[in-house]
Structure 1
Amino acid sequence: MSGKAAKEIWSWVRSIILAFILAFLTSIFLIQPYKVEGHSMDPTLHDQERIMVSKLSHTFDYEPDYGDIVIIDSRVERKRSFTDDISENALYQLVSHQKQNSFLYVKRVIGKPGDVIELKNQKLYRNGELLKETYIKEPMVVMAEGKWTVPKDHIFVMGDNRNNSRDSREIGFVPIDHVLGKKVLGF
């Protein structure tokens, strides 16, 4: 092999490696695809639907808004680290042959720090005001009424399919650093 051919091959290899590194960093810090698993967000999002998630809220650690659809780490009892961000990355999982993380949930933000969330008479209230939720699948069948005050640096999330959703009613409040991104596009 000539020196010119070796330089050409190295140029291509270097370009491919650089492209992979840029894609990896982009998907950790800026935007990442995500596949919805399950029916907890019906009718807004459907099982196996693909969405694009902005990672900026996680990268810069800011609080999502009411109604935002977010990806959360449901393991709310444990601390997160940068290592989690790497190992949960779709590109990393593709290269390392890992399965998608079953502890990542897609939910809607219902309460922010200081809010009082209440379920009573089959309806949802935030700070004493009835929420008008046109996006939910069907009226809630509430087994037990409940009242929660969202602590500092946490949010309260629920799925749009309230009768088939594992959310803050079960897992508890979600620390802000467990909000991994916000849905920006579905396809």
Structure 2
Amino acid sequence: MRWFEIALVVLTLSSGIIWLLDRLFLARRRAERAGLLEPKEPVLVDYAKAFFPVLAVVLCLRSFVAEPFRIPSSSMMPTLLIGDFILVNKFAYGLRLPINNRKFLDLGEPARGDVVVFHPPQHPEQDWIKRVVGLPGDTVAYRDDTVYLNGQPLRYDPRGRYVGRGRGADASGAKLLTEQLPGRPHPVLERDDLPYFIQGEGEWTVPAGHYFVMGDNRDNSEDSRFWGFLPEADLRGKAFLIWMHWDGSAGGVDFDRIGSRIP
């Protein structure tokens, strides 16, 4: 989505500059040359005046209020499915400039359990989504399919076996559990038919200004267990709503998911 953001900024600035130059200088010159005749407005100016307000509103909404994203992978199943279209709150953790993502107004920090969109350190041009498990200063461990938070194991309530469909059908048969993360219980998937070594076991202490993030699909998520901590500067916003779901291999639109809040 970085290319779209760059294009939107460039088009907004270009149309705004053309509109401003015309208002301050060019329109007056055309009127002087035309005399008593109605001056003809150049096509470029006409387009700039028509599109600048629309582009400016879209840029402001997308940069500072809410931005849409599409879920391309299964790492957050069962919370988020492939084909979910979500909205991300862009001011929950502070206002940031478009393109460079630099914060210029601090409004808050991620809470434990928040589902966040971010630029991963190893792929800064991409947008990823995971759940915040560890806050700065926390010690997080992952052993035997269990998260330990500051030395205490989280409780897992079994909910049977997961039944996937469409592009997520390969997750069928995984254990569906409710992970009792303090303040934010949420569903997770665990596979008992995969090799032990891919689980990403270990123990980590989260440094200041960073977060430990994990996918809810614990055996199919490239997260902090493998690439380290998420810097606060790489945050994009907080995911809060599914506004559309489309999976052509599962019949297209799933109306039951539209309007669902993200736990």
TM superposition outliers: structure 1 runs of 4+ over 4 Å: 4-7, 9-13, 139-142
The 1:112–1:131 alpha-carbon spacing in structure 2 relative to 1, beyond 3 Å, is same
Matched, 1:54 2:66: no
- Please give the secondary structure, in 2, of the residue aligned with 1:25: helix
Q: Which amino acid aligns with 1:69?
A: V
Number of residue equivalences: 162
- Correspondence for 1:108 among 131, 135, 145: 131
- Correspondence for 2:232 among 171, 176, 184: 176
Bigger mean CA deviation after superposition, 130-139 or 24-33: 130-139
Corresponding residue for residue 94 of structure 1: none
How high is the TM-score relative to the length of structure 2?
0.55
- Aligned-pair CA distance for 1:48: 2.1
1:106-160 deviation digits (Å, cap 9, x = unpaired): 1000000000001123311111122241410226775353000000000000000
Matched, 1:28 2:66: no
The 1:58–1:47 alpha-carbon spacing in structure 2 relative to 1, beyond 3 Å, is farther
1:58–1:177 Cα contact (<8 Å) kept: no
Taking only aligned residues, the RMSD between alpha carbons, in angstroms, comes to 2.6
Q: Which amino acid aligns with 1:50?
A: F
- Tell me the distance in 1 between the aligned counterparts of 2:153 and 2:191: 13
Matched, 1:64 2:123: no
- Tell me the distance in 2 between the aligned counterparts of 1:47 and 1:6: 48
- Tell me the distance in 1 between the aligned counterparts of 2:94 and 2:224: 19
- Tell me the distance in 2 between the aligned counterparts of 1:38 and 1:77: 15
Corresponding residue for residue 74 of structure 1: 120
Bigger mean CA deviation after superposition, 44-53 or 142-151: 142-151
- Correspondence for 1:137 among 181, 189, 199: 189
Matched, 1:156 2:212: yes
Q: Where does the alignment leave 5 or more consecutive residues of structure 1 unmatched? A: 79-100
Q: Which amino acid aligns with 2:128?
A: Y
2:201–2:225 Cα contact (<8 Å) kept: no
How high is the TM-score relative to the length of structure 1?
0.76
The 1:58–1:177 alpha-carbon spacing in structure 2 relative to 1, beyond 3 Å, is farther
Query: Equivalent residues in 2 for 1:81-100 (5 A)?
Result: none
- Aligned-pair CA distance for 1:63: 1.9
Q: Where does the alignment leave 5 or more consecutive residues of structure 2 unmatched? A: 1-36, 96-104, 156-178, 180-185, 244-263
Q: Which amino acid aligns with 1:27?
A: R
Matched, 1:17 2:17: no
The 1:161–1:44 alpha-carbon spacing in structure 2 relative to 1, beyond 3 Å, is same
Q: Which amino acid aligns with 1:122?
A: D
The 1:76–1:150 alpha-carbon spacing in structure 2 relative to 1, beyond 3 Å, is farther
- Aligned-pair CA distance for 1:168: 0.4
Matched, 1:3 2:38: yes
- Please give the secondary structure, in 2, of the residue aligned with 1:14: helix
